């Protein structure tokens, strides 16, 4: 019995880290809890071996059983330390990313006509308040025929804004996409609406407003299908606004986050044109 328990426990220790990495819904707190449970099981087995005497030790595999337990405890210690280090790294990345987005929002507000800095909303912490992945928001149930289920009139409103954009009526399109984003906040088409609003404003030469729209599209879904394109267009808009340092940092981030994509290649070309170091 003890031999079997040790084997199962050893497998648990060996697989704990990669399994956690594969499960994106699992938080660091979950991983810490699992490691703590495994450590408790190791201690319980050691206590059982000691209480059982030589007979229990032999049934578990002899002296090698204690050596295996020592190795497992050492592995758990290493995994726990790596988890703590990862948590600290995530906290730093979240803080840096949140501060950078907040700084961009402030700078863009300074450039936008009629923007009141005093009324800027507090920048939401990226990735959740504690640096772990945020709980997924409730999503509409998929419709087998039309993909994600939309609110009543949501598709019609989006199509009307898109039609205005494709017809070259960019001001009407920008206004419609802005109303859409406010009305259907967090909907399946909201990021597309924010990005296309940026495109419409860019067509009219309103680069400050366009940059804010691209920033909204990226920060709302930093891993979504529009993320790379939104970040690229944000960097390019900042360059056109003369915010060269912010533009270079943003364009470099495109290559860092989305290496190998067409957006990364275009970002490198934009950086060369801006003279980024």
More confident residue, 171 or 56: 171
C-alpha–C-alpha distance, residues 195 and 189, integer Å: 10
Residues paired with 142 in a beta bridge? 148
In terms of Cβ atoms closer than 10 Å to its own Cβ (0-12, 13-18, 19+), residue 173 is: buried
CA distances from 189 to 151, 155, 161, 184 (A): 11, 8, 12, 8
More confident residue, 136 or 92: 92
SS3 19: helix
Q: pLDDT of 20-31, one tens digit each?
A: 444 444 566 677
C-alpha–C-alpha distance, residues 187 and 235, integer Å: 25
Among 100, 58, 69, which residue's Cα sits nearest to residue 6? 69
Place of tokens 């328990």: 5
Query: What average pLDDT score do residues 216-231 get?
Result: 91
Query: What average pLDDT score do residues 241-270 get?
Result: 92
Query: pLDDT over 90 for what percent of the chain?
Result: 35
Query: Alpha helices of the chain — where are they, by DSSP H?
Result: 2-22, 28-59, 63-111, 154-166, 170-183, 190-203, 207-220, 227-240, 244-257, 262-274
Q: Which of 71-85, 111-125, 223-237 has the highest mean pLDDT?
A: 223-237
More confident residue, 6 or 253: 253
C-alpha–C-alpha distance, residues 17 and 31, integer Å: 8
Q: pLDDT of 10-57, one tens digit each?
A: 444 444 444 444 444 456 667 767 777 777 777 777 677 667 667 665
Angle, nearest 10°, between helix axes 154-166 and 190-203?
Answer: 20
> Residue 163 pLDDT > 80, yes or no?
yes
C-alpha–C-alpha distance, residues 244 and 230, integer Å: 18
Confidence tier at 75 by pLDDT (50, 70, 90)? confident
> Residue 164 pLDDT > 90, yes or no?
yes
In terms of Cβ atoms closer than 10 Å to its own Cβ (0-12, 13-18, 19+), residue 268 is: middle
**pTM to 2 decimals?**
0.55
């Amino acid at each position: 019995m003890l031999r079997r328990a040790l084997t199962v426990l050893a497998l648990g220790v060996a697989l704990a880290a990669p399994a956690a990495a594969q499960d994106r819904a699992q938080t660091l707190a979950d991983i810490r809890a699992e490691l703590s449970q495994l450590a408790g099981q190791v201690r319980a087995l050691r206590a059982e071996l000691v209480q059982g005497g030589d007979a229990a030790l032999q049934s578990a595999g002899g002296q090698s059983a204690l050596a295996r337990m020592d190795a497992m405890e050492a592995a758990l210690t290493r995994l726990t330390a790596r988890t703590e280090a990862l948590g600290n790294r995530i906290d730093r990345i979240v803080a840096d990313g949140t501060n950078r987005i907040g700084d961009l929002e402030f700078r863009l507000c300074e450039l936008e006509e009629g923007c009141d800095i005093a009324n800027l909303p507090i920048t939401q912490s990226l990735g959740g308040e504690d640096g772990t992945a945020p709980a997924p928001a409730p999503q509409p149930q998929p419709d087998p025929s039309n993909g994600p289920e939309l609110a009543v009139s949501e598709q019609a409103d989006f199509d009307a804004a898109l039609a205005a954009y494709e017809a070259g009526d960019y001001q009407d399109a920008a206004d419609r996409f802005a109303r859409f984003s406010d009305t259907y906040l967090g909907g399946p088409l909201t990021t597309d609406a924010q990005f296309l609003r940026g495109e419409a404003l860019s067509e009219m030469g309103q680069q400050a407003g366009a940059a804010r729209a691209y920033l909204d599209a990226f920060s709302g879904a930093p891993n979504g299908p529009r993320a790379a394109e939104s970040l690229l267009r944000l960097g390019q808009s900042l360059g056109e606004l003369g915010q060269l340092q912010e533009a270079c940092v943003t364009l470099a981030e495109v290559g860092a986050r989305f290496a190998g994509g067409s957006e990364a290649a275009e970002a490198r070309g934009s950086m060369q044109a801006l003279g980024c170091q």
